[in-house]
Amino acid sequence: MKRLAVFCLACAFVVLTGGALIELGPAAIDLRGQVAAQLAASGVSHPVTAVLLNFRGYDTLLEVAVLLIALLAILAVTDKPPAAPVPAHPLLQAVARGATPAMILVAVYLLWAGAHRPGGAFQAGAVLAAAAVLLHLVGLLPGWGAPGLRLRLGLTAGFALFLALAAALLSQGALLQYPPAAAGTLILVIEAGLTVSLGLILAGLFLFLSRDEGGET
Amino acid sequence: MMVLVFDGLLACALLWSAWRALATPRLDRAIVFFIAFGLLMSLAWARLSAPDIALAEAAIGAGLTGALLLDAYGAISRRKGGK
Amino acid sequence: MTSGLLFALVGVALFALGLAGLVLIGDVLRRILAFNLMGSGAFLVLVGLAQRNGVPDAVPQAMVLTGIVVAVAATALALALARRLDAQREGALPEDEDG
């Protein structure tokens, strides 16, 4: 009975919202023209990177803060010490060892490419995190326990750098308004910091969580 | 024309894999369907000419989320099996 | 029909599917899956609807890129809570027997 009711409600939702989407008129606000007009002053030539780190840099700043808070919450609810890593088959370990330098190279390429083509700090950080997870799964990288000073610095470096630059540039008038001449360099510096921190944070989501792996068996 | 057929197939595959991720009886298979859903989403982003999101979705949505889900499934089912 | 509008409609269906799953399913891990499906649906509507005339739009694309990274953090936090919940449920039984 409940199933039927939920099914009918979901169908009604899809029909009504879908119908509204199809009949929707042209958008009242279109930011495409503004983005294209300001692109030259943003310091990068790829519009998505320009929006992420220049026009809407505020969102990205807060997003990194959200990631850090999520990681802190995860640290608060997992309290077991890391279990000793279980080594995988030597062949798998060799493949992981071989793949890691290539993945780091891909991350650096994505970071560099973000200025003028698809890529950027998020994708580069994700590739770094994937390399760490791969090393952990084959038993070469132990799960993380309570983070030490170096790890803490690495986790917060991107956010701290971003925040420090935002504070230093407050004299420009608005938050995160870069001087046009230096915008390209500033964005690259921020993205490099974000790549390292995002890689560590995303890897931490896995490596802090998986430490109670096998603890019970 | 071909493009529209491809889009239609992709839309059907997205909805089907999402449905299987919720309705498959075995949880481990459901998670694998969810990973497949993430990869199909990545294709959909490429079709929407959003290569940045496609890259992020392939690495994060399919890769990292899938690893997290499988790891949690392994930990929970091992605890149940150990009892 | 442009692919933008088509995928926006798929997004609406995914959102409804995830919402129905969230209501009907009791298992915690599967509810996290349903929650992620809802998120993906919302992302598709955001980008698809903005591009329904076929021209790429960088602003919603950048917002969705941010959203995907936040979604994986939310998923990891939900999984951490689910694992903790499971460990406490299992741990509660032997303690009761001892006491």
- Closest alpha carbon within chain A to C21: A6
Please compute, for residue A200, the number of CA atoms within 13 A of its CA located in the half-sphere on the CB side: 19
Q: What is the mean pLDDT of chain A?
A: 87
pLDDT at A6 over 60: yes
Q: What is the pLDDT of residues B7-31, one digit of tens each?
A: 999 999 999 999 999 999 999 999 9
pLDDT at A58 over 50: yes
Domain assignment present for B23: yes
* Per-residue pLDDT at A123: 92
pLDDT average, residue stretch A25-43: 84
* Per-residue pLDDT at A143: 80
* Residue in C32, C37, C68 closest to B18 by CB: C37
Domain locations in chain C as residue ranges? 3-98
* Residue in C62, C74, C83 closest to A212 by CB: C83
Domain that holds residue B48: 8-82
* Per-residue pLDDT at B12: 95
Q: What is the mean pLDDT of chain B?
A: 91
* Per-residue pLDDT at A211: 62
The 3-class SS string of chain C reads CCHHHHHHHHHHHHHHHHHHHHHHCCCHHHHHHHHHHHHHHHHHHHHHHHCCCCCCCHHHHHHHHHHHHHHHHHHHHHHHHHHHHHHHHHHHHHHHHHC
pLDDT band for A64, please (50, 70, 90 cuts).
very high
Chain A: partners with 3+ C-beta pairs within 8 Å: B, C
* Per-residue pLDDT at A214: 47
Domain assignment present for A184: yes
- Collect all residues with Cβ–Cβ distance below 8 Å to A87 and sequence separation of at least 6: A93, A138, A139, A140
- Closest alpha carbon within chain B to A111: B52
Per CB-CB distance under 8 Å, the chain C contacts of B43 are none
Per CB-CB distance under 8 Å, the chain C contacts of A14 are 12-13, 16
Nearest CA distance, C32 vs chain A (angstrom): 16
* Per-residue pLDDT at C99: 35
| Pairwise pLDDT comparison (B75 vs A192), residue with the higher score | A192
pLDDT band for A103, please (50, 70, 90 cuts).
very high
Assigned token pair, A183? 């915008």
Cα angle A10, C18, A17 (rounded to 5 degrees) comes to 45
pLDDT average, residue stretch B57-68: 90
Domain that holds residue A60: 2-212
pLDDT average, residue stretch B41-62: 92
pLDDT average, residue stretch A207-212: 74
Residues of chain C with pLDDT under 50: 95-99
* Per-residue pLDDT at B11: 95
* Residue in B56, B60, B68 closest to A209 by CB: B68
Cβ of residue A99 closer than 8 Å to a chain B Cβ: no
On whether the CB atoms of residues C66 and C57 are closer than 8 A, the answer is no
On whether the CB atoms of residues A211 and A145 are closer than 8 A, the answer is yes
Considering the four listed CATH numbers 3.30.1370, 1.10.287, 1.20.1530, 1.10.600, the one that applies to the domain covering C3-98 is: 1.10.287
On whether the CB atoms of residues A146 and B76 are closer than 8 A, the answer is no
Q: What is the pLDDT of residues C60-87, one digit of tens each?
A: 999 999 999 999 999 999 999 998 888 8
Q: What DSSP designation does A198 have?
A: H
ipTM of the shown complex: 0.89
Cβ of residue B12 closer than 8 Å to a chain C Cβ: no
pLDDT average, residue stretch A76-83: 75
Domain assignment present for A59: yes
Nearest CA distance, A53 vs chain C (angstrom): 9
- Overall domain count for chain B: 1
Closest C-alpha to A161, from A191, A181, A184, A183: A191
Residue ranges of alpha helices (H) inside chain B are: 2-23, 27-47, 51-56, 65-82
Assigned token pair, B63? 């890769």
Domain assignment present for A100: yes
pLDDT at A69 over 80: yes
- Overall domain count for chain A: 1
Q: What is the pLDDT of residues A133-153, one digit of tens each?
A: 999 888 888 888 778 888 889
pLDDT average, residue stretch A99-106: 94
